[in-house]
Amino acid sequence: MAEPAPVFRRFAIAGNPNAGKSTIFNLLTGMRQKVGNYPGVTVEKKTGRFFGSHGEAMELLDLPGSYSLQVRSPDEAVSRDVLLGRVSDTPRPDAIIAVIDASNLDRHLYLVAQFLELEIPVIVALNMVDVAEQRGLTIDLLALRNSLGVPVIPMVASRGQGIIELKQALSRATLQVSDRKAQLPIVLEREVAALSRILKCNAASVRPEAMLLLSLEDERLAAEVKGDTALLKEIQAARERLKLSGLDPIAAPVDARYAWVSEVCASTVHRQGEDSHGLTFSDHIDQILTHRVWGWLAFIGMMSLMFVCIFVVAKWPMEWIGDAKDALANFVRAHMADGDFRSLVVDGVIGGVGNVVVFLPQILILFFFLGLLEDSGYMARAAFIMDRMMSRVGLHGKSFVPLLSSFACAIPGIMATRTIENRNDRFVTILVAPLMSCSARLPVYAVMIALLMPASNVWSKAGVMLCMYLIGIVAAFVMAGLFKKTILRSETPMLLLELPPYRAPVFRGIVQRMWERAVIFIRRAGTVILALSVILWALLHYPKPTTPEPTPSEILSHSLGGRMGHAIEPMIAPLGYDWKIGIGLVASFAAREVFVSTMGQIYNIEDAKQDNEDLRTQMRGERRADGTAVFTPLTCLSIMVFYVLAMQCISTVAIVRRETGSWRWPLFQIAYMTGLAWIAAFVVYQGGHLLGFR
Amino acid sequence: MNATVQQILVAAAVIGALLYLILRGRKKKGCDSGCGCAKKEPLK
């Protein structure tokens, strides 16, 4: 068998995911590829051979798709190490074929900016020019070549267009290193040059190595210098000098690259439909929705509208469910002999589960709106305005999605923190995620708001509901800031956020997600809530007093639940709660919505004769020993604030235990959240009293 | 249905509910059915 021809040149093909790298790789090599693994990490290594336009043998190495060389994942580390010539069995490539998506030039050029800093020849394959044209983008190729200082080959790789021109570019006698790159601040350039002089590595890659070491996060840097303490000290000293001169060594190069990318795009890309300032309709909307002031007003406006709809639209279906529940209870009452089991079925099962199921319409409307905001692309804008606040307290940009998921339920939110690489950042997010108002709190808020302001219009009710959500958000940010400064210190990485274009929401998808939530909610009501309601009923009825013909109040007071309520009453009395609310607090530790069913059961026992009276009416009529109302506006507010902040969810405790691998964190979380809830409820109730409110 | 039968039915329902919660907790090891279980993937 003949020996393969000696390789004339080695190329690495690199780019963002979905730029068309694999298509170009396959076009060049005719899919003659060899797949292996980089040692140490499970990242695929793919190489292939092809012949240049003069018949010379070339080798092509396919690098994993990545957005930057910032080294946050094994993929990015492999790309960087290969391009710096650090991988022992892979020689440093002679040039990089940078594949970029012409329809997303601004995003893809960031990686090209990093390639140019590596001081290695680059050939840009400008792929998907047809898509760019369809989107009304015109790219000035000559200007782009001049700005980048490298050959730019327009391509439609999926149709094989441009492949001959690419081969010709790869076969040129000389491939030159571009002299164009992002302009770094002069102090940073000086430190890079100083560090380059003391680094012991391949002369061609010494500057990029120095640049990289200066801009690494502390933990990565320690791993990178591999115990060379002298070098580590030099780098740390250089970073200190940079910080003293007001430069963030991590953020400064990123900012410089983005500024350079915008400059390049501004001079090379023109969009149809742009106004004289180069802005599209979507840009104009974004100017409002991501504005420092208008952005927040728009956010609050949209949320208020959502809560108004929750109150207005859900009213009728809630009444229907309530009527159906009462009809069922009456039917059982009419067809079953009086006794404990009938009471269990009517008050425990139908009352307990029914009082929770009644909130299904509100929860579905909440999910409808969340789906609408997410699908339309608005949520990314909300993330953008929140990011300013999040980064101020040191929260990781990737915390946004977990925190957003926590509005539905903290459990998927906590699971979603797995995308955060840094342990401390991840734990901070886990600790604050349950402070976001989940859908299980909605029934508690709705009942309390109905008691607080029975006659007010829906806008006021929506305003109070919005305040509860905002209290949760603010508490999460404040606590995150506190944890980041004390027990979970770490540096805050920057958020690279892509704002997707606005688009019409797909209603089928939203309805499907609502249906899924409905199934989950009803299944939960029929299993966990049902079981808890049965146990709760038993706790509120047994043991029975020995006195002949006890009154309903005596039964409740003598029961195990009643005794628990009495036992914790001294602790909760300063918050304005009586022992019956105490029973609700204890019972709802299993799940927050159980508070509503507990209250329903308690007042059903006491008002045994007033069958099927609305829970809110029963609660409104509840009196203390001195004849004053139990559920005053202040008590209602205090209860709501308590539920915003307290960790009343056993399932969340279990998931935090699993995700953090120890009991230490969930126990700490219960302690800090309960403490915070108690203090906040105390301040609301006692502070309100001092100010003369009742 | 007399009072004794009703008491027996109540006891059975309470024991059933308790057993359900205990067994569910053991089987799922903290994964909450109410909020939808994520797949148990190894941490990267």
Residue-wise pLDDT tens digits, A325-365: 989 999 999 999 888 899 899 988 998 888 888 888 888 88
pLDDT digits (tens, 9 = 90+) for A437-468: 988 898 899 999 988 888 888 889 999 999 99
Contact A655 B31 (CB under 8 A): yes
Structure confidence at residue B19 as a pLDDT band (50, 70, 90): very high
Q: Using CB atoms, which residue from A523, A532, A652 is nearest to B33?
A: A523
Asked if A527 and B33 come within 8 Å (Cβ–Cβ), the reply is: yes
- Candidate from B6, B31, B34 with C-beta closest to A340: B6
pLDDT score recorded for residue A426: 87
Report the percent of chain A where pLDDT is more than 70: 89
Q: How confident is the model at residue B42 (pLDDT cuts 50, 70, 90)?
A: very low
Mutate to test the interface with A, among B22, B26, B32, B37 (most CBs of A within 10 A): B32
Residue-level pLDDT at A90: 79
Residue A234 pLDDT > 90? no
First to last CA, chain B: 60
Contact status of A661 with chain B (Cβ, < 8 Å)? no
Beta strands in A69-191 (DSSP E): 95-101, 122-127, 137-139, 152-154
Tokens 């006698």 belong to A173
**Residue A340 distance to chain B (closest CA, Å):** 6
User: Does the beta-carbon distance from B6 to A339 stay under 8 Å?
Assistant: yes
Min Cα–Cα distance to chain B from A329, Å? 17
Of B2, B9, B35, the CB nearest to A411: B35
The residue ranking higher by pLDDT, A620 or A644, is A644
pLDDT at A267 over 90: no
A190-A192-A194 Cα angle (round to 5): 70
Residue A483 has a pLDDT of 92
For the residues A643-665, what does the mean pLDDT come to? 88
Q: Is residue A641's pLDDT more than 90?
A: yes
Which two tokens mark A346?
């009517």
- Cross-chain residue pair A535–B21, CB shorter than 8 Å: yes
List the single residue in A341, A412, A530 with the smallest CB-CB distance to B35.
A412
Residue B1 has its nearest CB partner, among A337, A655, A658, at A337
pLDDT band at A494 (very low <50, low <70, confident <90, very high): low
CA B3/CA A614 separation, integer angstroms: 29
C-alpha to C-alpha distance for A224 and A119, rounded to whole angstroms: 21
- Residue A644 pLDDT class (50, 70, 90 cuts): very high
Task: Supply the ipTM of this predicted assembly.
Answer: 0.75
Cβ separation A412–B21 shorter than 8 A: no
- Substitution target in A336, A415, A517, A533 with the highest count of B β-carbons within 10 Å is A415
**Cβ-based burial of A332 (10 A; exposed 0-12, middle 13-18, buried ≥19):** middle
Question: pLDDT tens digit string along A567-603?
Answer: 999 999 999 999 999 999 988 887 888 898 888 888 8
* pLDDT reading at A216 higher than 80: no
Terminal C-alpha separation, chain A: 96
Burial classification of residue A133, based on how many CB atoms lie within 10 Å of its CB (0-12 exposed, 13-18 middle, 19 or more buried): middle
> Long-range contacts: A490-494, Cβ < 8 Å, 24+?
A490/A394, A490/A422, A490/A424, A490/A425, A491/A217, A491/A218, A491/A250, A492/A391, A492/A394, A492/A395, A492/A396, A492/A425, A493/A72, A493/A217, A493/A250, A493/A396, A493/A397, A493/A422, A493/A425, A494/A250, A494/A251, A494/A254, A494/A391, A494/A397
Which of the two residues, A386 and B34, has the higher pLDDT score?
Answer: A386
The reply to whether residue A342 touches residue B6, judged by beta carbons under 8 angstroms, is yes
Interface test with A, best of B35, B43, B44 (most A CBs within 10 A): B35
Q: What is the mean pLDDT of residues A40-51?
A: 66
Closest Cα of chain A to B8: distance in Å? 9
Min Cα separation B31/chain A (Å)? 6
What number is the average pLDDT over the span A680-686? 96
* Across B14-39, average pLDDT: 65
Instruction: Give the chain A residue whose CA is nearest to the CA of B15.
Output: A535
Cα(A276)–Cα(B5) distance, rounded to whole angstroms?
Answer: 84
Indicate whether A105 pLDDT > 90: no
Q: Is the pLDDT of residue A614 over 70?
A: yes
Q: Does residue A655 contact residue A411 with C-beta atoms inside 8 Å? A: yes
Asked if the model's pLDDT at residue A235 lies above 80, the reply is yes
* Phi and psi torsions of A180, nearest 5°: -100, 130
A54-84, pLDDT tens digit by residue?
888 888 888 877 777 766 655 667 777 888 8
How confident is the model at residue A11, as a pLDDT?
Answer: 92
Report pLDDT for A44. Answer: 57
Element (H, E) at A34: strand A33-37
The reply to whether residue B43 touches residue A523, judged by beta carbons under 8 angstroms, is: no
Q: Which 3 state secondary structure label does DSSP give B44?
A: coil
From A663's Cα to the closest Cα of chain B, the distance in A is 13
Distance from CA of B29 to the nearest CA of A (A): 8
The tens digit of pLDDT for each residue in A396-436 reads 667 877 887 788 788 878 877 876 777 888 899 999 999 99
Average pLDDT, chain A: 83
- B15 CA: distance to closest CA in chain A (Å): 9
Q: Measured between beta carbons, which residues in chain A are less than 8 angstroms from residue B21?
A: 528, 531-532, 535
Q: Do B17 and A658 touch (CB under 8 A)?
A: no
Q: How confident is the model at residue A202 (pLDDT cuts 50, 70, 90)?
A: low
What is the predicted pLDDT for the residue at A74?
A: 57
Decide if B38 and A591 are in contact by the 8 Å CB cutoff: no
Could B14 and A538 be called an inter-chain contact, meaning their C-beta atoms sit closer than 8 Å? Answer: yes
Nearest to B7 among A340, A527, A534 (CB): A340
Averaged pLDDT, A599-621: 73
Please check the confidence at residue B28 and state whether its pLDDT lies above 60. no
Kindly tell me if the per-residue pLDDT of A272 is higher than 60. Answer: yes
If pLDDT is split at 50, 70 and 90, which confidence band does A151 have?
very high
Interchain CB contact of A159 with B (< 8 Å): no
| Contact check, Cβ <8 Å, B10/A415 | no
CA B40 and chain centroid, separation: 21
CB A362 within 8 A of CB A319: no
Q: Tell me which residues of chain B, numbers 3 to 42, contact chain A at a CB-CB cutoff of 8 Å.
A: 3, 5-7, 9-10, 13-14, 16-18, 20-21, 24-25, 29-36, 38, 41
Rama region for A535: left / alpha / beta (φ>0; ψ in -120 to 50; rest): alpha
Contact at CB, A527 and B20, closer than 8 angstroms = yes
Q: Chain B: nearest CA to A425, how far in angstroms?
A: 15
Beta-carbon contacts below 8 Å between A and B: 92
d(C-alpha A621, C-alpha A631), whole Å: 9
Q: What is the average pLDDT across A479-500?
A: 75
Contact residues, chain A, for B30 at CB < 8 Å: 651, 654-655, 657-658
Å between A433 CA and nearest CA of chain B: 14
